[in-house]
A = this chain, B = another copy of it.
């Protein structure tokens, strides 16, 4: 049945996402993934063509939801530039914290220099979001709403970097913040509001007049 087939593929992608994010692309073997998913090893190639195809499929499943997060915000004429930044941080904070497993995998792979076809694909997608944030910041500067001497690119690096540090380096962020980053409930109830509030205050202090 078509429905069950999709469910099975989805289940494989769930497992693959988890195993990849824990061990990286090379560290995760097809035997391990198929074993943990409870399917025959050949099924991975049958469904996804290759290990790399499976890897890409993991990303493509999530990609769509990331692409049009900002579309609406950026083009809203009625919002002030700061309200747009505020709205972006809000959405970004929600999306990112609840997809931390995937986020880790994403930026882990972006750090590698090989497989430029995959990395390039991921980069071009992420750069769309970067472009949207940049547009908001530049608009705010042009309207005189933001300071005119802010380092736009660095500010963007701070937004993504602060989040990445917390998500990708739990060995440091967990003892730093005082609660377990891996714990989903803690993430949602404590980290999410905290990182949102902090990010808004930090940016407010740096970019607002």
Contact = CB atoms under 8 A, between A and B. Distances in A.
B165 A153 contact: no
Interface stretch (A22-30, A54-62, A73-81, A136-144): A22-30
A112 interface: yes
What band does the interface of chain A fall in when counting residues whose beta carbon is under 8 Å from B? Answer: 35 or more
B22 A130 contact: no
A163 B25 CA distance: 24
A202 B156 contact: no
A19 to B, nearest CB: 10
Assembly stoichiometry (copies): 2
B126 A172 contact: yes
Of A25, A162, A166, A175, most B-chain CB atoms within 10 Å: A162
A96 interface: no
Contact of A123 (B126, B158, B172, B197): B172
B162 A163 contact: no
Contacts of A177: 153
Given A123-B171, A171-B110, A157 B151 contact: no
Given A24-B112, A151-B194, A151-B198, 17 more contacts: A22-B112, A26-B27, A107-B168, A108-B111, A120-B171, A127-B172, A127-B176, A151-B201, A153-B177, A154-B198, A154-B202, A157-B176, A158-B165, A160-B165, A161-B162, A202-B202, A205-B205
Interface of A: 22-27, 104, 107-108, 110-114, 119-120, 123, 126-127, 130, 151, 153-158, 160-166, 168-169, 171-173, 175-178, 194-195, 197-198, 201-202, 205-206
